[in-house]
Amino acid sequence: EVQLVESGGGLVQPGGSLRLSCAASGFTVSSNYMSWVRQAPGKGLEWVSIIYSSGNTYYADSMKGRFTISRDNSKNTLYLQMNSLRAEDTAVYYCTMSNHPGDYFDYWGQGTLVTVSS
Amino acid sequence: EIVMTQSPATLSVSPGERATLSCRASQNVNRHLAWYQQKPGQAPRLLIYVSSTRATGVPARFSGSGSGTEFTLTISSLQSEDFAVYYCQQYDSWPLFGPGTKVDIK
């Protein structure tokens, strides 16, 4: 059974950093397409970043240069390093998995809340 | 830059009735369109991909159609568990979601 469990969210001040983790089970992270998708409180969904099975990484324009997606194959875990955080980054961050090249999202974690506030 | 719109913003439907949700892309996305269902406090769930293919375990009362710029999600006979927010998402270019349609009880 595919399971995705996010952690690492919390309260951070503007300009601060946070690293989110997504522990995967039931499949191999490095063999699939892993993304982060976020949802601001009461708002819609926004794609953040993707790492392909090849290791190539891509980001939404507003996250480029601030966020870094990575994976640890030995731990079967996905990460999102977030720097220079802004109030508008406040959201629930979901880890997702796709087992195909198309960028739609088959499996979702339960999400972790990031709050950027002073 | 592609813009996704969904209509209506809210759809009030009685249980057992048919619900038709629309999604429009500002430019051609071919059939690279997915639909998700999200209930309060839960993560989204994939319903439909490639415009009309149901994901594993999705009931047959959910159907998708369309190509190019106009897409439709139809729920043939609404059950109590179907009241939720529905998002469309194009993946012809970088993933982009529509603003959602809330289906609530009439």
Task: List the single residue in A with minimal CA-CA distance to B89.
Answer: A104
pLDDT band of residue A99 (cuts 50, 70, 90) is: confident
Is it the case that residue A101 has pLDDT exceeding 90?
A: no
Contacts of A106 in chain B (CB under 8 A): 46, 55
pLDDT of residue B77: 94
Backbone angles phi, psi at A44, to 5 degrees: -85, -170
Backbone angles phi, psi at A88, to 5 degrees: -75, -5
Contact A103 B95 (CB under 8 A): yes
pLDDT of residue A66: 97
From residue B28, how far is each of A48, B31, B38, B93, B105 by CA, in Å?
Answer: 22, 9, 26, 10, 33
Beta strand A112-116 with A10-12: parallel, antiparallel or unpaired?
parallel
Per-residue tokens: A62:
């507003």
Average pLDDT over residues B56-84: 97
Interface of A with B in 42-61 (CB under 8 A): 44-47, 50, 58, 60
From residue A59, how far is each of A3, A6, A47 by CA, in Å?
Answer: 24, 19, 8
Average pLDDT over residues A15-20: 98
**A8-17, A64-73, A93-102, B58-67: least confident range:** A93-102
Contact B87 A111 (CB under 8 A): no
Contacts of B36 in chain A (CB under 8 A): 45, 105
Contacts of A109 in chain B (CB under 8 A): 43
Per-residue tokens: A37:
């998708």
Helix (H) or strand (E) holding A99: none
**What percent of chain A lies above the pLDDT cut of 90?**
96
Give the tens place of pLDDT for each residue, B12-46: 999 999 999 999 999 999 999 999 999 999 999 99
pLDDT of residue B28: 98
Helix (H) or strand (E) holding A39: strand A33-39
Identity of the residue in B44, B50, B98 whose CB atom sits nearest the CB atom of A108:
B44
Is it the case that residue A102 has pLDDT exceeding 80?
A: no
**What percent of chain B lies above the pLDDT cut of 70?**
100
How many angstroms away from the CA of A83 is the closest CA of chain B?
22
Q: Give helix then strand counts, H and E, for chain A.
A: 0, 11
Mean per-residue pLDDT of chain A: 96
pLDDT of residue A100: 84
Beta strand B19-25 with A3-7: parallel, antiparallel or unpaired?
unpaired
- Contact, B62 vs B53, CB < 8 A? no
b/e per residue, B89-103, with b = 16+ CB within 10 A? Answer: bbbbeebbbbbbbeb
Cis peptide before B8 (omega within 30 of 0): yes
Beta strand B96-97 with A112-116: parallel, antiparallel or unpaired?
unpaired
